[in-house]
Amino acid sequence: MSRVSNLLVATLALGLPAAAIAQQNDIQVTPVEVTDGIYMLMAAGGNIGLSVGDDGAFIIDDQFEPLHDKIVAAVRDAGGGDVRFVLNTHWHGDHTGGNRLMGEAGAMIVAHENVRRRMDPGTFTDVVGNTGQAPPIALPVVTFNDEVSFWWNGEQIHATHVANAHTDGDTIVWFRDANVVHMGDNFFNGMLPFIDVDSGGGIDGMIAASELVLADANEMTKIIPGHGQLSGAAQLREFHGMLVTIRDRIQTHVDNGDSLEEIIAAEPIAEFADMATGWMPVERFLGLVHRSLTE
Ligand SMILES: [Zn+2]
């Protein structure tokens, strides 16, 4: 696991404010060129998608507020000017934490309607437990409930909602012409994923999200995961297969009337143990899958 991923894990696990980690000088925003005019920016939160071109910079997710200046600099370095659009794949703070400063700088923030509902002041609780912290300027100003397309930088950027997957407000974003897709946190490349059951997420929805992307993907498709390295269809197929295997095994235990304790004791996903992280150990993941199949 990379140093960046470890920092993310430490931040989430310890509940450290994002500021505490982002002030550390060793957090850099690393641009990965995906294809002509499209980049993935990696730092301490969810991977950022970036389109640059004649129309201006369009970004998918914006990580943490203290990284704002570094993200803006990386956008400029990639040939983008001011950020014109921010599309949030979901409401978690490591994907929307930069919204306030992006909004103040004039970017149009767009997301599924449940992202705005969950971030609305008074209801906002991020994954590290901060509540009521999202000011109005950080909220999406354009919301949609099914799908929306941006005709931008010579591309159709096609955003599709996937229901009850990582959360209840997830969006998958296709660059249709470039054959690139950003899956938000419906794809953790090489890791057991987080399923935010408290935010309406569920394993069946995550499996469906993978299937939706695989139906349109080919061997040339570049896939930006919410966390982990840039990927392709082969890795997503592997991830999807793992989720199906895990769901089926836990469902069998549930059908047998086994308790979560009995399921954990049976070690039903031992062959995937090396995909566990400090933040998502096997026991926690099994608990989330169990809840998503029984609640
Ligand atoms: Zn997330």
Q: How far is it, in rounded angstroms, from Cα 100 to Cα 137? A: 6
d(CA 54, ligand 1 centre) in Å: 31
d(CA 256, ligand 1 centre) in Å: 31
d(CA 100, ligand 1 centre) in Å: 18
User: What's the pLDDT score for residue 24?
Assistant: 55
User: What's the pLDDT score for residue 26?
Assistant: 76
User: What's the pLDDT score for residue 222?
Assistant: 98
d(CA 15, ligand 1 centre) in Å: 15
CATH code assigned at 78: 3.60.15.10
User: What's the pLDDT score for residue 25?
Assistant: 65
d(CA 253, ligand 1 centre) in Å: 27
Among 134, 112, 139, 114, CA closest to 124 = 134
Whether residue 260 lies inside any domain: the answer is no
How many other C-beta atoms can be found within 10 angstroms of the C-beta atom of residue 255? 9
Any bridge partners for residue 148, and if so which?
A: 159
User: What's the pLDDT score for residue 126?
Assistant: 59
From residue 128, give the alpha-carbon distance in Å to each of 16, 125, 186: 8, 8, 19
Q: Which amino acid is at 266?
A: A
d(CA 72, ligand 1 centre) in Å: 22
Domain boundaries, position 194: 3-233
* Per-residue pLDDT tens listing for the chain (295 residues): 333 333 444 344 334 445 555 455 678 999 999 999 999 999 999 999 999 999 999 999 999 999 999 999 999 999 999 999 999 999 998 999 999 999 999 999 999 999 999 888 666 665 555 565 678 899 999 999 999 999 999 999 999 999 999 999 999 999 999 999 999 999 999 999 999 999 999 999 999 999 999 999 999 999 999 999 999 999 999 999 999 999 999 999 999 999 999 999 999 999 999 999 999 999 999 999 999 999 9
Whether residue 289 lies inside any domain: the answer is no
Tokens of 218: 């080919």
Q: How far is it, in rounded angstroms, from Cα 20 to Cα 259? A: 39
Whether residue 253 lies inside any domain: the answer is no
How many other C-beta atoms can be found within 10 angstroms of the C-beta atom of residue 220? 10
Q: How far is it, in rounded angstroms, from Cα 198 to Cα 127? A: 10
d(CA 267, ligand 1 centre) in Å: 26
Whether residue 65 lies inside any domain: the answer is yes
For Cα atoms 191, 196, 197, give the angle at the middle one, nearest 5 degrees.
Answer: 130
d(CA 38, ligand 1 centre) in Å: 22
Q: In what order do the strands lie in the sheet with 180-182?
A: 147-152, 155-162, 170-175, 180-182, 222-224, 231-232
Whether residue 252 lies inside any domain: the answer is no
Q: Judge whether 84 and 56 are in contact, CB under 8 Å.
A: yes
User: What's the pLDDT score for residue 127?
Assistant: 58
d(CA 166, ligand 1 centre) in Å: 7
d(CA 238, ligand 1 centre) in Å: 20
pTM of the full structure:
0.90
How many domains are there within the chain?
1
d(CA 75, ligand 1 centre) in Å: 22
Tokens of 163: 């229901």
Any bridge partners for residue 166, and if so which?
A: none
Whether residue 198 lies inside any domain: the answer is yes
User: What's the pLDDT score for residue 16?
Assistant: 44
Whether residue 284 lies inside any domain: the answer is no
d(CA 168, ligand 1 centre) in Å: 11
From residue 281, give the alpha-carbon distance in Å to each of 49, 155, 190, 272: 27, 39, 14, 11
DSSP string, 75-141: HHHTT--SEEEEE-SS--HHHHTTHHHHHHTTPEEEEEHHHHHHHSTTT-B-TT--BS---GGGS-S
Assign 74 to helix, strand or coil: helix
d(CA 194, ligand 1 centre) in Å: 7
d(CA 126, ligand 1 centre) in Å: 10
Assign 34 to helix, strand or coil: strand
d(CA 9, ligand 1 centre) in Å: 12
Whether residue 285 lies inside any domain: the answer is no
